[in-house]
Structure 1
Amino acid sequence: MIRLDSIGKQNGKQIVFIEASATLLKGEKVGLVGPNGAGKTTLFRLITGEEAPDEGQVSVDRGITIGYFSQDVGEMAGQTVLAAVMDGAGPVSTIAAELRELEAAMVDPDRAHEMDAIIERYGEVQGRFEELDGYSLEGRAAEVLAGLGFSQEMIDGDVGKLSGGWKMRVALARILLMRPDVMLLDEPSNHLDIESLIWLEAFLKNFDGALMMTSHDRAFMNRIVNKVIEIDAGTLTSYSGDYEFYAQQRALADKQQQAQFERQQAMLAKEIAFIERFKARASHAAQVQSRVKKLDKIERVEPPRRRQTVAFEFQPAPRSGEDVVSLKNVHKSYGARRIYDGLDFHVRRRERWAVMGVNGAGKSTLLKLVTGATEPDGGSVALGGSVKMAYFAQHAMEVLDGERTVFQALEDAFPQAAQGSLRSLAGCFGFSGDDVEKRCRVLSGGEKARLVMAKMLYDPPNFLVLDEPTNHLDIATKEMLIAALANYEGTMLFVSHDRHFLAALSNRVLELTPDGIHQYGGGYTEYVARTGQEAPGLRN
């Protein structure tokens, strides 16, 4: 369906692709992986024709329709959510618009003399509309929107009043409704809650066209893809299998290459030592010359490229008392909407609570009550003795001073810390070299999240409260965070839609449902085994 043959591409001074080749065939579901800035979005743009390669060729089979979802959704306003989705559904929406125009023309007395031509055209267009299953379009649009978490009130509401995250979902719904031959999805799992993620997972598994996608959600990627294409240093390498298989093969290949490199280095050292030892002796001149020529001809093995992975270790946190936080008979409402009505909840030392519930169930509200960011309408919230708390909230990224650099932001937070210590901290969280001089206003969402996390964890708290800490983080940074938090000795209360994060770190689950609040001993994996569902909103 789509072939990239010996592609070369350069953006300014950066070489993105060098003689890179890959294919996307019907039925393939491809995960596109590579470090940030490797060229994943550029590859999508080459396939859609938004950019042209400097060398090589991109071939797309004739008649193939391509649906491309990117993070840049553009302006949306003046329509209902349902109308906006139906309008973006590709050829079928264009034909629907022509049908409406023809229907208006049929009842226009000024166009009576054209009626035969209008009726003939209407028949042609109607036939094509039926072929594309156009009469079920509205029903399918409503089904896709419901799957992505839209309430009926939102579906009927103005798309222009939605937040950026919900507009992303509208743009994604357009592509899903379009049902193109090829879907290109750039981070479709961003901004989705766990119920919507699981619905999208099932939708994409059942999609019979070709799919190429990027995602920072390891579990999501692993369940959908049957092939991985890796972008690394300008080349494209294909692996048959899911993401887990790719990760294993990549690690194995690196290990083998490292062993080859070390063997060759040992051999070269031995040869060079012989040459240095005997080069001045006439009796060994022939042997020395022979070995010099041999060394010149040897093709050098490169060491495996080190991925820029970050590693962070907690300093020991001061020990808290056994009782970390206690909520007794807590009531909380927003206007007429009651969130909590007599909530009792207790967190003890070294417990790791994952809070789960559908949108609007009160997950973030619970975290705000615990941290004192909001007050209960009734009841009490009390922190235990010697509790040193840190709170990661989504708005924490918005209050970074845009004019301060990354390094200055760390200095402001820890004025007594040595410069070397802060540079080491910055490096752990992916800010190496000149990155520490970037101003906060130019940082990406992921970079801001990493900076906030670095500020939180340098002077370690013994109680971590985290609201969607993995949003915007790439897979490598998530793995670093999981590894660091797995060794953390303190207490945790967190909300996350990342199932890998939930499974790795929780040892308790608090489930918020319309039927009541349920507490489960054991972590997320045990919760799934006991309930038979991966999220509360999927209950039958």
Structure 2
Amino acid sequence: MIRLENIGKQNGRQIIFIEASAALQKGEKIGLVGPNGAGKTTLFRMVTGEEQPDEGQVAVDRGVTIGYFSQDVGDMAGQSAAATVMDGAGPVSAVAAELKALEAAFADPDQADAMDDLIQRYGEVQGRFEELGGYALEGKAREVLAGLGFSEEMMDGDVGKLSGGWKMRVALARILLMRPDAMLLDEPSNHLDIESLIWLEAFLKGYEGALMMTSHDRAFMNRIVNKIIEIDGGSLTTYSGDYDFYEQQRALADKQQQAQFERQQAMLAKEINFIERFKARASHAAQVQSRVKKLEKIDRVEPPKRRQTVMFEFQPAPRSGEDVVSIKAVQKAYGSRTIYDGLDFQIRRRERWCVMGVNGAGKSTLLKLIAGTAEPDAGTVAVGGSVKMGYFAQHAMELLDGEETVFQSLENQFPQAGQGSLRALAGCFGFSGDDVEKRCRVLSGGEKARLVMAKMLFDPPNFLVLDEPTNHLDMATKDMLIQALAGYEGTMLFVSHDRHFLAALSNRVLELTPDGIHTYGGGYTEYVARTGQEAPGLRG
């Protein structure tokens, strides 16, 4: 269906692709992987025709429709979320908008004199709407939006009033409703809660067209893709299998290449040694010459590229008392909506609680109450003696000073630390070389999250409260964080929609439900086994 044939592409001085080739066939579900800046978005834009390769060609079979979801959703306002989603389906959305306008006119007393004309026009427009399959389409649009977490109220509300994350979901819903022959999805798992992620997984598994996507969510990628295309050093390499299989194959290929490199280096050293020893002897001149010629003709084996993320190791955190947090008879409401009514909950030293619950259950509110950024309406939240808390929330990224560089930001937080240890810290969190001189205002969401995390973990607290810590993080940083936190001696309370993160780090589950809380003694994996569901919102 879609073929990339010997493509070359350069942006300024940066070479992105050199004679790279790959293909996307009908029914294939491909995961596109590669380090940040490797060219994943450029590749998508070349397939859609928004960019052209400098060399080679992108061939798309005739009649193939392509739907492209990117993180840049553009401006949305002036109509409902449901109408915006139907917009992607062509003329039917304009007819739907006219129907809505006519319905509004019926209720307008100023239009009473024109009622006969309005009724006649309504009949015509309604007939056209039915002809175009509008009612079925609206039902499907609402089904997709519901799958992505929208309430009926949100579907009918002005899309312009939604936050950036919800607008992303509207843009994604448009592509899903369109059901093109090929879907290109750039990070569709960002901004989704766990229920929406699992719904999207099922939708994409049942989708019969071709799919190419990027995602930082390992579980999501593993369950959907049957092939991986890796962008690395300008070339495209295809692996059959899921993400875990690709990682194993990569590690194996790197190991073989390293062994080959070392064997060749040993052979070269031997030959060079011989040449050096005998080059001055006339009796060995012919042999020396023949070995020099042999060396000139040898294809040099390159060592494998080093992809290892630098590991972050915690300094030992000071020990807290056994009782870390005690919550008694807490009540909390926002307006008429009651979040907790008589909540009792205890956190003890070295417990690692993950908090589960549907949207609006009060997961973030619980973390805010414990961190002290929100107050209960009644009851008490008591943090134990000698507890040193580190709280990570999305708003922490907005508090960075935009004019400071990454290094200055670290230096101002830890004036006693040496330059070497701060550079090592920056390196662990993905700021190597010149990256430490970037100003905070130009950092991406992922870079900001890494910087905030680095500042929080350098002088480690003994109680970590983390609200969606893996949002914006790529897989390598996520894996580094999981390994670092696995060795952490303190206590943890966290909310995450990343199932790999949940399974690796929790040893207790707190589930918030409308009829109170449920606690589970094992971690997330045991919770899934006991409830038969990966998230509370999936029960029915």
Preserved CA contact (<8 Å) 2:343 2:516: no
> What pairs with 1:69-148 in structure 2 (closer than 5 Å)?
69-90=69-90, 93=93, 134-148=134-148
Identify the residue that residue 205 of structure 1 maps to in structure 2. Answer: 205
Q: SS at 1:398's partner residue? A: helix
TM-fit CA distance, 1:95: 8.3
Q: 2:384: which partner in 1? A: 384
Q: How far 1:198 sits from its partner (Å)?
A: 0.2
What is the CA–CA distance in structure 1 between the aligned matches of 2:154 and 2:100, rounded to whole Å?
Answer: 25
For residue 66 of structure 2, what is the aligned residue in structure 1? 66
| CA–CA distance in structure 2, aligned partners of residues 342 and 317 of structure 1 | 33
**Letter in structure 1 aligned against 2:25:** L
Give the drift of 1:280. Answer: 1.4
The answer to whether structure 1 residue 351 and structure 2 residue 347 are counterparts is no
Runs of 4+ in 1 over 6 A off after TM superposition: 94-101
Distance 1:436 1:286 in 2: 55
- Whole-Å separation in 1 of the counterparts to 2:379 and 2:499: 33
On the 8 A contact 1:222/1:242 being kept in 2, the answer is yes
Quote the Cα distance in structure 2 between the aligned partners of 1:280 and 1:90. Answer: 82
CA distance in 2, matches of 1:94, 1:282: 91
Task: Give the AA of the match of 1:416.
Answer: Q
Identify unmatched segments of 5+ residues in structure 1: 102-106, 110-118
Partner of 2:521: 521
Moved more, 349-358 or 267-276: 267-276
8 A Cα contact 1:321 1:349, kept in partner: yes
Amino acid at match of 2:390: A
Query: Deviations 1:353-378 (Å, cap 9, x if unpaired)?
Result: 00011111000000011111111111
Letter in 1 for 2:321: G
Q: Deviations over 1:143-187 (max 9, x none)?
A: 000000001111111100000000000000000001111100000
Pairwise CA distance, 1:335 = 1.3
Summarize deviations over 1:122-141 as a string: whole Å, max 9, x none. Answer: 99x889x65xx544100000
Task: Please give the root-mean-square deviation of Cα atoms over the aligned residues, in Å.
Answer: 2.2
Uncovered stretches (5+) of structure 2, i.e. residues with no partner: 102-114, 118-123
Indicate the residue corresponding to 2:233 in structure 1: 233
Q: Using a 3 Å threshold, how does the CA distance of structure 1 residues 391 and 100 change in structure 2: closer, same or farther?
A: closer
Rate the CA distance shift 1:321–1:27 in 2: closer, same or farther, 3 A: same
State the partner residue of 2:428.
428
Shift of 1:287: 1.6
Q: Please give the per-residue CA displacement for 1:65-104, whole angstroms capped at 9, x wherever unaligned.
A: 1110000001111101111111123476478789999xxx
Change (3 A) 1:14 1:379: same
Q: In the alignment, which residue of structure 1 is the partner of 2:108?
A: none
Distance in 1, matches of 2:525 and 2:32, equals: 28
Q: Is 1:228–1:243's contact at 8 Å kept on the other side of the alignment?
A: yes
Which residue identity is paired with 2:263? R
Distance 1:505 1:443 in 2: 28
Matches for 1:111-510 after TM superposition, within 5 Å: 134-307=134-307, 309-510=309-510
Q: Over residues 449-492 of structure 1, what are the superposed CA-to-partner deviations in whole Å (9 max), with x where a residue is unaligned?
A: 00000000000111100000000000000000001001111110
Structure 2 CA distance for partners of 1:239 and 1:52, relative to 1, 3 Å: same
Shift in alpha-carbon separation, 1:43–1:24, aligned structure 2, 3 A? same
Match of 1:115 in 2: none
Once the two structures are superposed, residues 219-246 of structure 1 have per-residue CA deviations (whole angstroms, 9 ceiling, x without a partner) of 0001000111000011011111111111
CA distance in 2, matches of 1:89, 1:498: 32
Contact map agreement 2:83 2:96 (CA 8 A) in 1? no
Range 13-22 or range 86-95, more displaced: 86-95
Q: Is the 8 A contact 1:308 1:430 kept in 2?
A: no
1:411-459 alpha-carbon deviations (Å, 9 max, x no partner):
1100111111111111111111111110000000000000000000000
Q: Match of 2:399, SS?
A: coil
Q: How does the TM-score come out when normalised to structure 1?
A: 0.93
**Partner of residue 20, structure 1:** 20
CA distance in 2, matches of 1:372, 1:32: 41
String of CA shifts for 1:290-347, please: whole Å, max 9, x gaps.
2111111110000111126231010111111111111111111111111111111111
Partner AA of 1:452 in structure 2: V
TM-fit CA distance, 1:2:
0.5
Q: Structure 2: how far apart are the matches of 1:178 and 1:230? A: 27
Residues 92 and 129 of structure 2 are in contact (CA less than 8 Å); yes or no, is this contact kept in structure 1?
no
Counterpart of 1:538 in structure 2 is 538
Bigger Cα displacement from structure 2, 335-344 vs 187-196: 335-344
- Matches of 2:338 and 2:179 in 1, distance apart? 40
Q: Give the letter aligned to residue 398 of structure 2.
A: E
Give deviations 1:499-533, integer Å, cap 9, x for gaps. 00000000000001113210000100000000000
Q: Residue 11 of structure 1 aligns with which residue?
A: 11
Cα distance in 2 for residues equivalent to 1:56 and 1:134: 42
CA distance in structure 2 between the aligned counterparts of 1:3 and 1:375, rounded to whole angstroms: 57
Mapped to 2, the partners of 1:16 and 1:95 lie a distance apart of 44
Question: Secondary structure of the equivalent of 1:306?
Answer: coil
Give the AA of the match of 1:195: E
AA matched with 1:180: P
- 1:289 Cα deviation from its structure 2 partner: 1.3
Show the counterpart of 1:45: 45
Specify whether residues 363 and 176 from structure 1 end up closer, same or farther in structure 2 by C-alpha distance, changes over 3 A only.
same
Against the structure 1 CA distance between its residues 94 and 209, is the aligned structure 2 distance closer, same or farther, given a 3 Å change threshold? farther
Q: In structure 2, what residue type is equivalent to 1:361? A: A
How far apart, CA to CA, are the structure 2 residues paired with 1:164 and 1:411? Answer: 32
Q: Which amino acid aligns with 1:448?
A: K
Q: Is the contact made by 1:310 and 1:477 (CA closer than 8 Å) also made in structure 2?
A: no
Whole-angstrom distance in 2 between the partners of 1:23 and 1:204: 19
Q: Is the 8 A contact 2:29 2:211 kept in 1?
A: yes
**Partner Cα distance (2:415, 2:268) in 1:** 49
- Is the contact made by 2:331 and 2:340 (CA closer than 8 Å) also made in structure 1? yes
**C-alpha separation between the residues in 2 aligned to 1:539 and 1:200?**
16
Is the Cα–Cα contact under 8 Å of residues 71 and 168 in structure 2 kept in the other structure?
yes
Taking structure 2 as the reference length, the TM-score comes to 0.93
Cα pair 2:330 2:380 within 8 Å, conserved: yes
CA distance in 2, matches of 1:483, 1:405: 27
Q: What does the per-residue CA deviation read over 1:255-288, in whole Å, with 9 as the maximum and x for residues that have no partner?
A: 1111111111111111111111121122222221
